[in-house]
Structure 1
């Protein structure tokens, strides 16, 4: 799978299926590579703009968790921090720029294995002089504060005079919004430049230090420069460095980033942080690019690739690359270092969704970490526990009890941060109101489900006692207060909501919402009784905090009267909500075959789409995925056949759910096709899909396609089930999972399933495959 610019098959030998290549430069299509070539380490993420400034680019550096609110009528967002990538080159009097002169050859490569970005350009100036330039960079996984760059310039056909301007440029914004106050700038020891920025509302200090080192012929050289300061800028001008024909000038630019939000630095105030950061960079400079890079590549091997290697044997090499690409970004965008932070819908690769956290984390990203890096999963769930004050505030403001989680979440105390106004309405000409923050409420059940799922798979009792039980009880407390009594039908309804399918607003009894609310209450009741009987101290603490005894009585009174939409007799279809099945049916072929998502809104506005049987994304299907044992195979198949043709997959979350369900239903061809479509959201031929950033949830979903779908791994009521469904084009699949503290290695071939227990925290692990239960002490081979 490739197109004229992005190539996915350039890796050879040890780097086979580890390389993504941009094979040509097109100034109109820079957003794609900027996003998918994003570098980062969970602490920070840097969009892959070029060193020199070019047309149409977006230069972003985000530090996780540093939210700021620009104005009262705006929502908090991750601020775009100073541009430290910036380096301008003048070669024999002409500025090096890809829009001028002639590009003789161009290649930019993301090495996923070692998380390094390399660009090689042979460029001829207007004066007909040719230069070879190589740019390398990485953001360290070994030391999360380090950004390293290395540039090599070789004059090909004559001696050259090279000038360089490079430093720290804080004249950047979030699409025009400036989140920082101007801070101090200074130079230390004629070498280290330091710039301070402080966010305007949250008052977070950012400290940047950067310095340059030069080499010729593999030997360090001193280059004289002039230090310059302008508004929000500090930089060096190194003028007229003479470089002989065929000789290579090497510039290393080493930068560090610290903020006053960092947990790992214990210093007194900004003064202490500035001193600490400067001394830290002195150590970084001593090491130099190559030494730093070796440590960084080793960290990727030890923390990622050796912990969760996934091997696919197939002639379709792209599939192997795609799962590694997903794992790469899951590492880059997840702030595993700090439980006060979570995953943004665009990771740290762009301004889309302002760095906010959605249900994407719980349902699409978290499973990867639960099965592969349980400690990281725990940290992401602790974040939700720490945001409980915001959830209580939202419940109270809406007249409810318990924890009502925000649809979009940012810093712990921020509460609901969904913007109120969105895209243009093509009919009225006004901005469309975004109702999700007001009435998309299933996120509260999603968090409860994820908490329970984490516990069932890991058995982490310490987490439950400190955080988990409280989350499960508090969310159920909300749901019982949210129920509305329908006198006529003598049952409880949940009215005026948006379900997962956001093309249906202000609906009553969205099936996903009702079923998961019911499940949340039932589950909480079971834990209420268990805690009372087995953990009286924890029960007493939570009873005092949440008034559990009174709440339990309400659960008992209400839970069996909650309306749960049932399959219709004539065709077994469950209504997505009270009115979906009575809405107009139109021919959706044009939109099902669309090149860009959301094409329907060129013909209809949201009010009109609301009245048509069309879905943005999986809704009932997500319900079948989470609570699969509540529905028969016949019901699932009937609803699949009804809803899939009406689902446009305009949300990147949708394809992976459909892929796993297609796998479950034995439609291998459809499952594999959906997997390929999910991979193509960021890696496909469409050069505009990723302009606002990568699709974090979809990348988590790709892992689910492989492990939960094709690998068949599922946790069902606390038990492990493995029923593989390998795509026809694959001959084998091997992956690790953690289960109850033990690491298992699962290998699936056409005829066998092998489960090997690698660690010995439990004497044995049981799992089911088909109707049979198996016990693994060291290894079990199942004939499929």
Structure 2
């Protein structure tokens, strides 16, 4: 049972709590309470083992392909969290004896996981347990654990085994060759494992410090070694009121780490370096290391991303903090060779691959809050041009065709080919997005545009952005198909964002985004002709596109762009969607879990029904209004509202990406209650009462979308072709919303109530923004009456 009200006083709305142990729903807390620092992620399994547990530890960028017929994935590293405890010789488990006062908590503010309970053994012995754990943000290579045991009534023979267990796998697949294992000075355990295909070395070191009644015990542990495993065991006699503390510190380094990923790399040096790092940490101890970690969270996260909601429901504030917490945990801010996985670093779902989730649902937070990290994530896509060009060439196209799923930048397309069962035929279904879901190339071009307009980072454009936009435009120009009958270019045989519609022609999202991508390339080309012909010459030589500009300008005029129907302003999602069979979708709209439609229909049958998995045409309208196309008569506010009302009723939200887009648009069209309802549902994808929604890991895009809904939806912040618009529409029970964004080189602080918008420019640089159709110039602080402004419209 989850509880979000356990944080008291200064920790109010900071704590995610589990109030009782349930062996049938372990995955929920393992995922949502996972720990991480962007370099590595640690799923929050319990110390003692259970049958249905999933123990995961991942390091960003360590991709490996276990076998030729498997997809590359982040390998599950050796486990360091398991501690096998025995009480009077019997294995300790919460499935035996009696448990009282159970609580497991993730403190979002300190990024520490704790678990505490009183336990009565089957023999009637009373013990009190407290477990603590953190993954350091101060030292990206460090994990701290602490076990505290208090004997309450009768003497107990207490023993435990702990070490490094490399007998782990990814859903049955083993990725590692066995490496050397060793214990130094009867204290420091070291294990080396090497990925079998990518040949990445992983060096893990761990150490235990055992303290009885505030005094370190002197006994030497029993040392044991087995295949892919090395560990130690300790035994202590506990008398009533005795208190035992065990500190376990671990360091983790890999040959993919930037400082050692070079020709001079030496495994022996990495082993020595990582072992010395552990020894240094042991001298400091858990408590001091945790204080350093906590200070880093304060200094780099909570004091920077100051986001305050005064709501009648404190859960809203907690949900935003949960969003910010996981955005930090999942993002490899330390290395621009790495992207964000669809499940972050919290589970094996989607194999650690990056999707369009990053650019459209996660990147906006960093663009508006930490442009340096946003830049790093876009450089990752720049490095991916190698794989994108390879995919284009293999498919007979020019330029760069980005992989639907991306891993290491040079890997190219890594989407698995086969997926879940077809309920009609009993066979495996083919995963088509890797072949025909192609809009991601334009999505990345949009992200370049958005980043540059919000940050004014021209250096990024020069070094990376222009090349991405030009080469993706070359792809689209070669991808267009001439329809001689209609005398226009089509894009046939694709999947749009709505993945319940496969092999469709002229998906509106894909066509419009391709159009935008080419128009953006034309705009940048003309800009360089005037402002930097030398750079343009270098890019033309590099990309060999001397004739591309003429090709773009000719083709872009003839791309078919589905227009709103005259009778109802509905933009056809594709050539056939509006002619498909309609049916009562209430059963699936009210489902307890996603994708229940697949219990009744297979993909081919769903393809023939007017039903959508997620936002498609709607996200198009949201994106393009931010660009130089915002004045296009096909993309007006009336068109947005008409399409929202039409498509939302047919959308099952079977993707976690869907709800936040609908929430933002509902807010845009004045549906405040519906907008908040959709926002609340999006927060409950991971934080809700259902205990099986997060088993494969947290939903990274939805978590990014929580922040997006609050800022772009309720606060009404919007980029519109290089200009800032602010049109707040707070939920009725939100009294105030305070936050800061970065806009074109300076922090801007917003404070919004139901009746007033306050804007403060921190660096006192001039800010021009629009509210309700009026332009305002701010050089310090400005207050605007929301009621008065809206009444004039």
TM-score range, shorter chain: over 0.9
**Hey, what does 1:208 align to over in structure 2?**
204
Distance 1:51 1:643 in 2: 47
Pick one of 499, 504, 509 that aligns with 2:506. Answer: 509
- Structure 1 stretch displaced more, 258-267 or 154-163: 258-267
Question: Which segments of 5 or more consecutive residues in structure 2 lack a partner in the other structure?
Answer: 787-793
Q: Does 1:706 align with 2:710?
A: yes
Instruction: Determine the C-alpha separation between the residues in 1 that align with 2:740 and 2:781.
Output: 13
Following superposition, the deviation at residue 105 of structure 1 comes to 2.7
The answer to whether residue 258 in structure 2 is matched with residue 263 in structure 1 is yes
Query: Partners of 1:480 and 1:450 in 2: how far apart?
Result: 19
Q: 2:39 aligns with which of 43, 60, 78?
A: 43
Residues 14-47 of structure 1 deviation map (CA, whole Å, 9 limit, x = unaligned):
0000000000011001100000000010000011
Which residue, out of 375, 382, 387, partners 2:379? 382
Which whole-Å deviations, capped at 9, do the CAs of 1:624-681 have from their partners, x for residues lacking one? 1101223111111111111100000000000000000000001100000000000000
1:257-336 aligned at under 5 Å gives the runs 257-264=252-259, 268-336=265-333
User: Equivalent residues in 2 for 1:314-713 (5 A)?
Assistant: 314-628=311-625, 629=630, 630=632, 631-713=635-717
Structure 1 length normalisation: TM-score? 0.98
CA–CA separation in structure 2 for the residues paired with 1:687 and 1:413: 37
Distance 1:737 1:268 in 2: 41
Counterpart pick for 1:62 among 37, 58, 66:
58
State the 1:780 CA deviation.
Answer: 1.2
**1:242 lines up with 2:237 in the alignment:** yes
**1:150 matched to 2:158:** no
- Secondary structure, in 3 states, of the residue corresponding to 1:548? coil
- TM-score normalised by length of structure 2: 0.97
- 1:778 counterpart residue number: 780
**Deviations 1:496-520 (Å, cap 9, x if unpaired)?**
0000000000000000000010011
The whole-number CA distance in structure 2 between the counterparts of 1:85 and 1:764 is 52
Query: 1:532 Cα shift?
Result: 1.5
Q: Encode CA deviations 1:139-159: one digit per residue, 9 max, x unaligned.
A: 000000000001001111112
- Looking at structure 2, the residues matched to 740 and 227 of structure 1 have their Cα atoms a distance apart, in angstroms, of 58
Q: Is the 8 A contact 1:94 1:125 kept in 2?
A: no
SS at match of 1:646: coil
Counterpart of 1:768 in structure 2 is 770
C-alpha separation between the residues in 2 aligned to 1:243 and 1:49? Answer: 27
Structure 1, residues 187-236: CA drift from partner, whole Å, max 9, x if none? 11211000000000000000000000011222333232111110000000
Root-mean-square deviation (CA, aligned residues, Å) is: 0.9
Determine the C-alpha separation between the residues in 2 that align with 1:187 and 1:30. Answer: 32
In the alignment, the residues of structure 1 paired with residue 280 and residue 582 of structure 2 have an alpha-carbon distance, to the nearest angstrom, of 66
Query: Shift of the alpha carbon at 1:429?
Result: 0.4
Q: Residues of 1 paired with 2:677 and 2:429: CA distance?
A: 34
1: CA distance, partners of 2:703 / 2:87: 41
Offset of residue 527 of structure 1:
0.5
CA contact (8 A) 2:614 2:658 kept: yes
Residue pair 2:125, 2:156 contacting (<8 A) in 1 also: no
Instruction: Name the structure 1 match of 2:101.
Output: 105
Q: 1:264 to 1:223 in 2, by over 3 A?
A: farther
Q: Deviations over 1:359-392 (max 9, x none)?
A: 0000000000001111110000000000101000
Q: Is the 8 A contact 2:423 2:599 kept in 1?
A: yes
2: CA distance between counterparts of 1:304 and 1:265?
A: 28
Provide, for residues 518-554 of structure 1, a one-character-per-residue CA deviation record: whole Å limited to 9, x for no partner: 0110111011011121012211110101233300111
The answer to whether the 8 Å contact 2:186/2:221 transfers is no
* Per-residue Cα deviation, 1:537-577 (whole angstroms, up to 9, x for no partner): 21111010123330011111111000000011111111000
Q: Deviations over 1:573-605 (max 9, x none)?
A: 110000000000000000000000001011111
Partner in structure 2 of residue 738 of structure 1: 742
Shift of the alpha carbon at 1:99? 1.4
List alignment gaps of at least 5 residues for structure 1.
Answer: none
The number of residue pairs the alignment matches comes to 777
Please state whether the residue corresponding to 1:413 is helix, strand or coil: helix
Deviation at 1:104, TM superposition (A): 2.4
Q: Is the contact between residue 167 and residue 236 of structure 1 (CA under 8 Å) also seen in structure 2?
A: yes
